[in-house]
Amino acid sequence: MEQPNVAIVGGIRRTLKLKGAKPPAVRKGAVLTMDALFALGLLLLSMLTILMLLTRHAPYQAPALSSASDMMNVLRTMELQDLDGNPRYPYANQVIDDRRTSPYNATVIETIIDLYMGNNTTAAAQNLSAEIIGWAVPNDYGVELLVEKSGTDCQGLNSSYSCVYNETRGASRHFVSTGRHFIYSNNVTREVRLVLYK
Amino acid sequence: MMAKGQIWSYDMLIATVVFMLTVTLIASFWWSAASTIGEKPGERMTATGADFADVLLSPGNPYDWHERLDTANTGTWGSNVTLVGMGSGFEVPLISGDKALALIEMDETNYSELKGMFRLGYNFYVEVMEFYNCSSAGIQSSPLNCTARGIAADSEEWNSTAHYVWIGGRNFTLGVAPNSTALSASVSNRYAIYNNSLVRVRVILWNNQTWQ
């Protein structure tokens, strides 16, 4: 067994012998144990640091949300006569000129649905919808305007809702917003749905 | 007899290791759970953006707030007015031109004070767009004439149907547009009626922070 032969330790032993005390046993590996402890501590701290670094802080870019109910609220508030002489809406003015004697104080959505339900005026409903709704919706949004009437929906499927106006600007529908309104047309109260999606 | 220096014993070593492992596990679990089920700061920004848009399109309080303050004097802003908004009334999506102009003037006077009145912790930018075709004969012969407003023919803005609403001789915008330091943003599109036209109110909140 190797004895400690360092001068200082020897000096201590000699001093203790002189005083009649029992020399202390040298605890082997104590320094190594401390080293291991510090090493483990450092290792764990490194793991914590790496974990924190792995938790990435990324910029937040929320998708621009468009509210269909907001748009529907505008369409059921704005009257056709409000657009009379307004240069922003040339097609609406054309419709007004053609319908001076019909419900001039109808709202825009009532006018669109009235045109759609009328004879040979489906294209007019689509043109008016495009001018008022289509232009206002952001380019990355698709638009569907449907009325409660047996026919085909905007995807060409048989449905109790018919497609009045459709603007497909992308196939995905990760975000869908729907606005609803009820219109009395042809002696029936019909639901009108505006769908914005992206 | 107990050996001296036992604090460095294997028991202590094992206890320390177990403790640190436990702390590491708890911290890791905490971060994971917080990022999975907790409300993200970005979502809070989106919710705040929606609330801000609601306030902006409300008539404000009192209803005639724009007549009770001097838009050029920030000292008058907080005394008689509790809420500013540009709506004509509740439940109707109409923008009041007078209130909108007052807000624009307040923004020009002191953006920070206006942000404080909205109690916003983010920078904000609002732009109000209307829609028409610059090439339309009716537009060219009207006060909306794009050329007269400095929009070059066949430019990107000319070919777009979206144009800034013109109010008081300037574009209808409020706040500070996101600049190169903007890292996070939340955008909300709202629709309203201004000057007998459908307009899109684009509300953007932004800051220069990133989040987990």
Q: Give the rounded percent of residues in chain B with a pLDDT score beyond 90.
A: 38
Mean local confidence (pLDDT), A60-64: 65
To the nearest 10 degrees (0 to 180), the angle between helices A108-117 and A90-98 is: 60
Residue A32 is predicted with a pLDDT of 61
Alpha helices, DSSP H, located in chain A: 7-18, 30-54, 68-77, 90-98, 108-117, 122-129
Sequence-distant (≥ 6) Cβ neighbours of residue A187 within 8 angstroms: none
Q: Would you tell me how many other CB atoms lie within 10 Å of the CB of residue A108?
A: 23
φ and ψ at B166, to 5 degrees? -95, 120
Does the distance separating the beta carbons of A62 and B210 come in below 8 Å? Answer: no
Residue A1 is predicted with a pLDDT of 46
Does the distance separating the beta carbons of B131 and A135 come in below 8 Å? Answer: yes
Contacts of B139 in chain A (CB under 8 A): 87-88
Three-class SS of residue A32? helix
Between the alpha carbon of residue B129 and those of residues A95, B160, B161, B194, the distances in Å are 24, 11, 10, 10
* Separation between Cα atoms, residue B11 and residue B7, nearest integer Å: 8
* Separation between Cα atoms, residue A63 and residue A70, nearest integer Å: 17
Does the distance separating the beta carbons of A44 and B24 come in below 8 Å? Answer: yes
Is B73 domain-assigned?
yes
Does the distance separating the beta carbons of B131 and A88 come in below 8 Å? Answer: yes
Three-class SS of residue A96? helix
> The domain containing residue B99 runs over which residues?
41-207
Is any Cβ of chain B less than 8 angstroms from the Cβ of A16?
no
Is B130 domain-assigned?
yes
Residue B152 is predicted with a pLDDT of 87
The number of folded domains in chain B is 1
Task: Mutation target for A interface from B22, B157, B160, B197: give the one with most A CBs within 10 A.
Answer: B197
Range among A137-141, B51-55, B88-92 rated most confident:
B51-55
Does the distance separating the beta carbons of A62 and B186 come in below 8 Å? Answer: yes
Is B34 domain-assigned?
no
Is B27 domain-assigned?
no
Residue A27 distance to chain B (closest CA, Å): 9
pLDDT digits (tens, 9 = 90+) for A157-190: 999 999 999 988 776 888 888 999 999 877 889 9
Q: How far apart are the first and last CA of chain B?
A: 55
Q: Give the rounded percent of residues in chain A with a pLDDT score beyond 90.
A: 35
Residue B79 is predicted with a pLDDT of 81
φ and ψ at A146, to 5 degrees? -125, 150
pLDDT band at B194 (very low <50, low <70, confident <90, very high): very high
Is B13 domain-assigned?
no
Window 164-183 of A, Cβ < 8 Å to B? none
Cα-based torsion angle of the residue sequence A141, A147, A153, A154 in order, rounded to the nearest 10 degrees: -30
Contacts of B128 in chain A (CB under 8 A): none
* Separation between Cα atoms, residue A138 and residue A145, nearest integer Å: 16
Residue A60 distance to chain B (closest CA, Å): 4
What ipTM goes with this model? 0.77
- Given a cut of 70, is residue B15 above it in pLDDT? yes
Structural contact between residues A198 and A174, judged by C-beta atoms closer than 8 angstroms = yes
Window 141-200 of B, Cβ < 8 Å to A? 141-142, 144, 161-162, 183-193, 196-198, 200
Between the alpha carbon of residue B95 and those of residues A90, A189, B172, the distances in Å are 23, 30, 12
Sequence spans of domains, chain A: 7-54, 68-197
Is B11 domain-assigned?
no
